[in-house]
Amino acid sequence: MGRLLDLAKSVQGVSGSVEGYEINERNERSVSDPYQTAAEESLRAVCTPDYPAEMILWLEQAAPALYRRVVVDLPDRISLAWECHVPIADFQAILNEWVETHQSACALYRASGGAGLPSLA
């Protein structure tokens, strides 16, 4: 889960707030950063009010491969893409994949009631 937190902290560290509710010296930007803007939008898409807080812990046990994809693999790709300044379209594609994968994990969690993986029968 560390990589996911690192991603959120890196965006927050630059902007001061993912939500952008307050204005202070940390989130005032004189030059627009499309990578930061895209990452903030993706974090808002993931951190919705109906987000099941215990889903990540459940996912680690119930679907380890999906957990790794959401928490390690895609955040690592996002971080590397940001650092390498890949074309913004490519960066956005990785963010979109992360958001979609996270939403799929949430749907799986809700379908299972948080108790186990749903039957595929």
Sort 107 into a burial class: Cβ within 10 Å, 0-12 / 13-18 / 19+: exposed
Give the pLDDT band (50/70/90) at residue 113. confident
- Whether this prediction's pTM lies above 0.95 is answered by no
Give the pLDDT confidence score for residue 95 in this predicted structure: 97
Give the pLDDT confidence score for residue 28 in this predicted structure: 53
**Contacts for 108 with CB less than 8 Å, ≥ 6 apart:** 59, 62, 63, 66, 117, 118
Give the pLDDT confidence score for residue 84 in this predicted structure: 95
- Distance, first Cα to last Cα, the chain: 31
